[in-house]
Structure 1
Amino acid sequence: MTASGLDEAVAEAFVEQRGRLVAVAHRMLGSRADAEDAVQEAWLRLARQDAASIDNLAGWLTTVVGRVCIDMLRSRKSRPEASYDDQLPELVVTEDNDGAPEEDVLLADSVGLALLVVLDTLRPAERLALVLHDMFAVPFEEIGQILGRSTDATKMLTSRARRKVRGTHRSIDERRQQRAVVDAFLTAARSGDFEGLLRVLDPEVTWRAHTARGVVVRLGATEVAGKVQHGIRAKVTARRVLVNDEPGIVAWSGKGKPLSVMACTVVDGRIVEILSVTDSERLAAMDLPGRPD
């Protein structure tokens, strides 16, 4: 094969692997944009590599992407002063099917985007080991080569990470309670029940709203409830959904135009944090479920 033919074959092989690599990086980094950057870096390194010397391209690319992701995670932790409060995390809005089998609910909890919150509590090496082995079935031996550890040490590392994740795993009952709290919030909002809103809002609740003009932060149950109560004057239709696999709300105007997406964090039976998006451009970029009839 000629050099140009080899280059073309390598490029085609990279394209075939790209989707899997982005998925790995996305689970590692929690950001689609960062995942794309990590995979692009792998491509640049591949372009500088003698492709003929690579026996297993898929394994080589997984190794490079894994190491790039570890470097990016360590860089984040080394700059704790960097604030992400004003940055909007990637939001995935899906239907919330109350009738889903319990097994489906557990599966969503174990592999959904909500797991990224838990993964943030792990060290970079633990996170890589857990993601590659438990989500992408990469053998311990290969993961150990990425981390520079023995196979046995990698197994222990993955086991420790798995125990940490299980320690934060939510039960079916907890998920049902979270849904009930968001439903109560919706009911109180629709009727303008100020006291009802206060009952489901944590006294120190934070509402961070991403608007077309920037980020607006409201603090405390009284201020948040007052804003919600004021908002009922508009004729809107709202329904409960899942936002990153957590209970949330989507609201539409009377003409069916999306007005807002709200992600609610529920702890001990009360909403402790609300993240909302009202920026029409951002809403238009989201794949939202249809408005109820």
Structure 2
Amino acid sequence: MAEAFEAQRDRLRAVAYRVLGSHADAEDAVQEAWMRLARQDESAIGNLAGWLTTVVGRISLDLLRARRPETAYERTDLVVTAADGPAPDEQALLADAVGVAMVVVLDALTPSERLAFVLHDMFAVSFAEIGQILGKSTDAAKMIASRARRKVRSTDRPAGPGREHQRVVEAFTAAAVGGDFEALLRVLDPDVKLTVDTPAGVVVTLGATKVAAGARMFDGGSVARQRPVLVNGVPGHMSWGPDGKPLSVIVFTVADGRITGIRIVVDPAMLAGIDVPAPD
């Protein structure tokens, strides 16, 4: 039974991640599925792959329904890669970043819509099986998936790191390093939102004047090394201390030539899973 489960683990993890948008939650869902399988009579399971998909789907659906709406995007994982051209072994991470962008789109769906869309459109699970997971008829599952598909098509996906996007980020970095307050105001949207993930929680600052006044993340200090990176496929910046440990990751949201959002991660627990080498 354990060998049969291990043969399904990667697929189950992929299903759970697409539904939940979090690698940690996906691992928890898969582990819970194994625990439930271990309590089952093996002879009573006719189709192990189908049974496991159903169980992981139900666990993921329960987790989605238990979330507070405002935490959906915040729970997505950081996929950080070097911005100076990916090596072949980094292509998988960049593909994962595209997956994170899709997670942002899926956050516009209800839990039932999200599950139906992911299972059918991404993993070819039948509507009859999806209906069993949702407690709906096959026709109702089809309608839910169709509604989800329309929403996905009408939702704007996060823009990729185009040349203009990169130019704006570089202008902000130069202004912050030089302490040029006026230049910072020119590159920041008046309603820019700064979000800082700290060990104690999330701190939010609103407005260009306040954000520009506190722009000290590039002024040196305890930063020994820093480099441009891609964060979930979007231009950002990462810094390390003298001991080589990551200090921060910064990612920018750009629209119409101005920065509309900045996210800074300084929580060591969140930085620990990032495997990007510091520059020499």
Q: CA 1:84–1:122 in 2, change beyond 3 Å: closer, same or farther? A: closer
Instruction: Determine the C-alpha separation between the residues in 2 that align with 1:112 and 1:176.
Output: 22
Q: Distance in 1 between the 2:75 and 2:263 partners?
A: 9
TM-score when scaled to structure 2? 0.80
SS at match of 1:91: coil
User: Cα distance, 1:139 vs. partner?
Assistant: 3.5
Amino acid at match of 1:181: V
Q: Is the 8 A contact 2:193 2:205 kept in 1?
A: yes
Which of 51, 62, 70 in structure 2 is aligned with 1:60?
51
Q: Distance in 2 between matches of 1:232 and 1:257?
A: 18
| CA deviation string 1:163-192 (max 9, x = no partner) | 222222448788554333323222322333
Partner of 1:249: 237
Aligned residues of 1:114 and 1:246 also touching (Cα < 8 A): no
Contact 2:193 2:260 survives alignment (8 Å) = yes
Distance 1:147 1:283, change over 3 A: closer
Determine which of 195, 198, 207 is the counterpart of 2:182.
195
Q: Deviation at 1:204?
A: 2.7
How far, CA to CA, are the matches of 1:30 and 1:161 in structure 2?
16
Q: Could you say if the C-alpha distance between residues 147 and 239 of structure 1 is closer, same or farther in structure 2, counting changes exceeding 3 Å?
A: same
List per-residue Cα deviations over 1:114-156 (Å, max 9, x = no partner).
2212111101121112212232233344333433445454344
Q: Deviations over 1:211-256 (max 9, x none)?
A: 4565443332222212225742536554332212333221245775
**1:137 — aligned with what?**
124
Distance in 2 (alpha carbons) for counterparts of 1:172 and 1:73: 25
Gap regions ≥5 residues in structure 1:
1-9
What SS class does the counterpart of residue 210 from structure 1 fall into? Answer: strand
Unaligned runs of 5+ in 2: none
Deviation at 1:90, TM superposition (A): 2.5
Match of 2:146 in 1: 159
Identity of aligned residues (%): 59
2:264 maps to 1:276: yes
Aligned with 2:34 (options 11, 27, 43): 43
State the one-letter code of the partner of 1:251.
S
TM-score of the pair, normalised by structure 1: 0.77
Distance (Å, rounded) in 2 between the aligned partners of 1:212 and 1:162? 37
Aligned residue pairs, count: 273
Q: What SS is found at the alignment partner of 2:46?
A: coil
2:246 aligned to 235, 258, 261, which one?
258
Correspondence 1:182 to 2:173? no
